[in-house]
Structure 1
Amino acid sequence: MAAFSPELTVIYATIRTLDDQHPQATAVLVGGGRVLAVGSREEMAALAPRAHVLDHRDLILTPGLAEAHIHLVAYGFSLAELNLHGARSVSEVQARVAQRTMNTPPGTWLRGGGFLLSELGLDEYPAAAVLDEVSPHHPVLLFSRDLHLGWANSLALRLAGIRPDTPDPVGGRIVRPLGTLLESASELVTRVMPVPSEADFLAAAKAGVEDLAGRGYVSAHTMAFEEPEAPRALQTLAARGDLPLRIWACLPHERLEQARELGLACSPGSLFQWGGVKFFADGALGSRTAWLHGPGFAGGSGTGMPLDSPDLIRERGAEALRLGLTPVTHAIGDRANTEVLEVYEALRPLADEKGIRLRIEHAQHLRPEDIPRFRGLTASVQPIHLQADGPMIRELLPHRVDTSYAFRSLKAAGAVLAFGSDAPVAPPEYRANFAAALTRRDDEGQPIAPAEALTEEEILWAHTRGPALAAGWEDEGIIRPGARAAFTLWDRIGGNARALVL
């Protein structure tokens, strides 16, 4: 075989390719952003004797890490917002809000998030009066960690025109006494908040992508639930050559009409591409809005809240498929998953015709009889949430403990697992995903369905190859000739990581 030209690079490392035909190697030859050959150091030296050499023989090289579920620009914004992750009481929330107000001009909006009702010791939804005690002169809106619950003070509610007699919006609920806003009700407040400028969106996009790249990620799936300016900012970064990640983006189903008019369709090839259309079948566990089969939440607190109807998902999902886009549906509760699986059975023939893999986000709490129905679907899951959710699952869904975060069962059923974090709901921390999927232990040290644990190799696959297949990227998440030259270097799998994109 003739030698390659000198404008090439050979990487020496302990290589885990995730290619079943050639699972291990000690060298990889790359050029033009692609893998050209994989093998031993001697073989690569013979192929390209004048290639530049990167010697990482003390490290492990794998396909690049992917973040399969993130709200990327919102995450960028969150890096500068009030962080309530880890708050263990209402008084701790008050202290953090009070500290932020000390350095913020009166009348300026304060936005933050990351708390869990259970971690704050709350059995009921919080009221505005609690925030009023420490922020009477600043409008405040705080989001729960799952983003399905907003907690506002009286000034924010007054500016939004929300009174005790204000009717609930479609798809949302205003809790009385005032203070908590569920699902779409939070939009009554966010719509009166100052609108970020184009420069603000661009700065947040840049902060988000640089943070991910700095953690060792090479690609991300951004999940809508953001303003239209968010994906535009990412597209601007791509056009400028400032995008360090490959992005697969979803648009909300409400914008599907504009997508059709603009001729928007899946167009792989660039670092930014539109790939999915996002639906919400229900809310979330922590906000008590996950849609459940009876008996619902333990203690008789209801069966949650359905959002986008099955008929809507079926109709607009078919339209998305005809455009070459993937229906992507948020489903957390067992009833939500059942309903989405019913819809997807109807959509499967069209999806198969288009070569598109239907996708469910979260798939957290499942009936045993529904798990086999995930065959051939993408289960986009976030192991990191198991850590905080464990105590809530035992309290609120004791009858679903064994089929919550059912990773091994989903894999055995033939689902493609794709791991992410749902940032800014949780930090995009792959170490936490590895720990949760390996140990199945929550923040209290208690096990949650330990039989659902995965191996290190399976977790690596779900953080690399799984997201690539979910996006339809056959050239990603694997190290073989023709694949994208986007790698992650590790001191050990699940340990310290850094991206290497050539």
Structure 2
Amino acid sequence: MLNWKPYADLIIHNAIIYTADLSLAEICSGNYNFPVIEHGFAAAKDGRTIAVGSGDWRIYAGSDTKIIDAKGLPLLPGLIDCHIHDMEFGLEQMGMDFSRCLSLEEMQKTITQYVKTASPGSWLKGSGWNECLWDSNRPPCCKDLDKFAPKNPLYCQHISHHICVTNSLGLRLAKITKDTPDPEGGSIGHFDNGEPNGLFYDRAAIALLEHVMPETCEEEHIKALETSGAILNRFGITQVMNSMMTCDEMRAYLQARKQNRLSYRANLMFSLDRSLGDVHVQAERIKQMTAVTGFGDDMVKMAGIKIILDGVMSAGTAALREEYEHISGRGSTSYSSHDLKLLAQLAGKYHWQVGIHCCGDRSADMAMDMFEQTCHPQNRHFIIHLTLAHPDQISRLKASDISLALQPAINTELGEQAVIGQKYSNLYMPLQTLFREGIIVGGSSDAPVVTCSPFAGMASAVERRLSDGSIHRPNERISIRQALLMWTRGSAYLCHTENTCGKIAAGALADYIIIDTPLLNTSADEIRHTRVLHTILGGKTVYQI
């Protein structure tokens, strides 16, 4: 009998293969020792892996097989970011970048340079300012910006994307006055005399500005996906979950896929944006959605529904059980417990997965109440961020099979510790405890909030270094194996793709990356600066140095 084997389209050989091939049950029971194959090869055909091992790879090679010599470097599964705003990330590459501004003056200089080439009257967009890194330690206001853009309205997002500042021209165009009421789920900043100061807090308020700005057309959306794709592939990302989509934006993914302009797999979450209406409006939007979780294919698929329940720590709008230490108040929530339960019941009725943005411990309490009362574990509901976690909350996560999408790089880059204060410091992102309790944790960036580099996120999880250089709660460090499993198996689970993605195994999709760093035997700093040399999606190269 002939021992027939199909010729592969692609073979990568002479690699150290980090397979990440563990089941979720194994990981939850504390096994993080995925197989590592020395002098290994992976063979792919028709977009899927057909063989992995350390034997003779030549038996899979035909005359048309593309053969890549990894030269003894690590071969990993394509990495998965389970909470990112990839379209917004792409759009922001076209605007002003304030992320490197270490003072208000540097932000003003950036605006001045941008105004030189702008048409008078056009909206100028920028993002990334972070007053926590400035000596002044205060956010900019309209008066700080007016003379630098006298003829152009400004839309300048904070690094958290939960605060936005505009100039006086922007306020006039949006018709914001001292008498404008705060929208439900957001707030407008004011000077001591009651006049608006140009600051808008949380989505419902920021939408007041966005509603008077020109809409982004479909081609701009597609171009943004191309732009973000090039960057994501450079960092080894082959799959994402975008957790804040509108119907128009979803259509852009389908068109980008049709036009071969999408270079990564996209799982899309429909956003229940509080700025678009109250709970009854959101309920109608759920009922009108014709797709459900899982609808789509390997490239573009519906993932579920996202609910933004509170704000963020850095803005003082995350909903806390107790008062902030250095800011008055306890933050706020976008929905009441009653409204949240209504949305959850509808999501369950229509078989939607639900991801809830919760940065504060009080909002996390509400989310867990909702999941426990109305949702089924098989839907894989999850909490996004969970910046703070009490022991009782961790117990509830475990008991209810609630998963998490976490962003360790925020710990390093955002400087939230100054806002959190000492009384909450010991609750901040207890990664090792979460792993020890068997809770599924997906790795993500929340880009453009912080860098999209998974290796920066892994380094932050392994080291736990804060923005001021100090090490925070070293007992909550995780190993690099655990960190790698966050961006592979954990994220794949949240995306419902754990059978085909996030591992190198026969039958899985042929998403691979070759890197220049032996991750399992190196320092956190070297992990952070890892370079991706080759990114492959479905057996085809999408990035190569």
User: If the TM-score is normalised by the length of the shorter chain, which range does it land in?
Assistant: over 0.9
Classify 1:256/1:8 alpha carbon distance in 2 versus 1 (closer, same or farther; 3 Å): farther
The one of 38, 52, 56 aligned to 2:52? 38
Contact 1:360 1:378 in 2 (8 A): yes
Instruction: Give the SS at the match of 2:459.
Output: helix
- The equivalent residue for 1:163 is 177
Contact 2:246 2:270 in 1 (8 A): no
The one of 286, 303, 315 aligned to 1:287? 315
- The equivalent residue for 2:209 is 189
State the distance in 2 between where 1:423 and 1:256 align. Answer: 28
- The equivalent residue for 1:496 is 531
State the distance in 2 between where 1:373 and 1:121 align. Answer: 40
Deviations 1:49-77 (A, max 9, x none): 77553221322111111111111111110
State the distance in 2 between where 1:239 and 1:479 align. Answer: 27
Deviations 1:115-146 (A, max 9, x none): 12222345555421111132221111211111
State the distance in 1 between where 2:258 and 2:352 align. Answer: 22
The one of 67, 78, 97 aligned to 2:81? 67
How far 1:163 moved relative to its partner?
A: 0.7
Q: Is 1:302–2:338 an aligned residue pair? A: no
**Counterpart residue identity of residue 2, structure 1:** N
**Counterpart residue identity of residue 24, structure 1:** V
- The equivalent residue for 2:28 is none
**Counterpart residue identity of residue 462, structure 1:** M
The one of 341, 345, 354 aligned to 2:368? 341
State the distance in 2 between where 1:394 and 1:164 align. Answer: 30
Q: Is 1:129–2:130 an aligned residue pair? A: no
Classify 1:396/1:263 alpha carbon distance in 2 versus 1 (closer, same or farther; 3 Å): closer
- The equivalent residue for 1:487 is 512
How far 1:229 moved relative to its partner?
A: 2.3
The one of 23, 37, 61 aligned to 2:35? 23
Q: Is 1:58–2:72 an aligned residue pair? A: yes
How far 1:496 moved relative to its partner?
A: 0.9
Contact 1:367 1:400 in 2 (8 A): no
- The equivalent residue for 2:235 is 215
- The equivalent residue for 2:255 is 236
Contact 2:414 2:450 in 1 (8 A): no
State the distance in 2 between where 1:201 and 1:394 align. Answer: 36
State the distance in 1 between where 2:165 and 2:81 align. Answer: 28
How far 1:273 moved relative to its partner?
A: 0.5
How far 1:314 moved relative to its partner?
A: 2.5
Instruction: Give the SS at the match of 1:464.
Output: helix
Contact 2:327 2:419 in 1 (8 A): no
Q: TM-score, normalised by structure 2?
A: 0.86
State the distance in 2 between where 1:268 and 1:199 align. Answer: 22
Contact 1:113 1:144 in 2 (8 A): yes
Q: Is 1:311–2:338 an aligned residue pair? A: yes
Q: Is 1:441–2:465 an aligned residue pair? A: yes
Which stretch has the larger CA shift, 267-276 or 165-174? 267-276
Contact 2:7 2:45 in 1 (8 A): no
Which stretch has the larger CA shift, 153-162 or 459-468? 459-468
- The equivalent residue for 1:199 is 219
Where do 5+ consecutive residues of structure 1 fail to align? none
Deviations 1:451-502 (A, max 9, x none): 1111111111111111101111121101112111111111113411131220
Deviations 1:232-290 (A, max 9, x none): 11111112233211111000135664454352112253300011100011000111101
How far 1:47 moved relative to its partner?
A: 5.8
Where do 5+ consecutive residues of structure 2 fail to align? 24-33, 274-281, 520-526, 540-545
State the distance in 1 between where 2:289 and 2:321 align. Answer: 40
State the distance in 1 between where 2:459 and 2:81 align. Answer: 16
State the distance in 1 between where 2:503 and 2:146 align. Answer: 53
How far 1:436 moved relative to its partner?
A: 1.0
How far 1:110 moved relative to its partner?
A: 1.0
Q: Is 1:374–2:375 an aligned residue pair? A: no
Contact 2:358 2:384 in 1 (8 A): yes
Q: Is 1:475–2:500 an aligned residue pair? A: yes
How far 1:46 moved relative to its partner?
A: 4.3
Deviations 1:418-456 (A, max 9, x none): 111111112212232122111111121111222111111
Which stretch has the larger CA shift, 277-286 or 4-13? 4-13
Classify 1:365/1:90 alpha carbon distance in 2 versus 1 (closer, same or farther; 3 Å): same
Q: TM-score, normalised by structure 1?
A: 0.93
Contact 2:286 2:347 in 1 (8 A): no
How far 1:399 moved relative to its partner?
A: 1.2
Q: Cα RMSD (Å) of the superposition?
A: 2.0
The one of 478, 483, 500 aligned to 1:459? 483
Q: Residues 364-403 of structure 1 correspond to what in structure 2 (within 5 A)? A: 364-375=387-398, 376-390=401-415, 392-403=416-427
**Counterpart residue identity of residue 200, structure 2:** L
**Counterpart residue identity of residue 456, structure 1:** I
Q: Residues 405-444 of structure 1 correspond to what in structure 2 (within 5 A)? A: 405-444=429-468
- The equivalent residue for 1:11 is 12
Contact 2:121 2:152 in 1 (8 A): yes
Classify 1:203/1:268 alpha carbon distance in 2 versus 1 (closer, same or farther; 3 Å): closer
State the distance in 2 between where 1:298 and 1:258 align. Answer: 38
- The equivalent residue for 2:353 is 326
**Counterpart residue identity of residue 168, structure 2:** S
Deviations 1:179-238 (A, max 9, x none): 1111111111111011122222221122122221232211011111x5432221111111
Contact 1:3 1:47 in 2 (8 A): no
How far 1:45 moved relative to its partner?
A: 3.5
**Counterpart residue identity of residue 514, structure 2:** L
**Counterpart residue identity of residue 263, structure 2:** P
**Counterpart residue identity of residue 280, structure 1:** I
State the distance in 1 between where 2:60 and 2:134 align. Answer: 61
Classify 1:334/1:122 alpha carbon distance in 2 versus 1 (closer, same or farther; 3 Å): farther
Deviations 1:132-190 (A, max 9, x none): 13222111121111111111110000000001111111111111122111111111111
State the distance in 1 between where 2:326 and 2:217 align. Answer: 46
State the distance in 2 between where 1:262 and 1:96 align. Answer: 42
Which stretch has the larger CA shift, 177-186 or 305-314? 305-314
How far 1:381 moved relative to its partner?
A: 0.7
Contact 2:413 2:450 in 1 (8 A): no
**Counterpart residue identity of residue 342, structure 1:** D
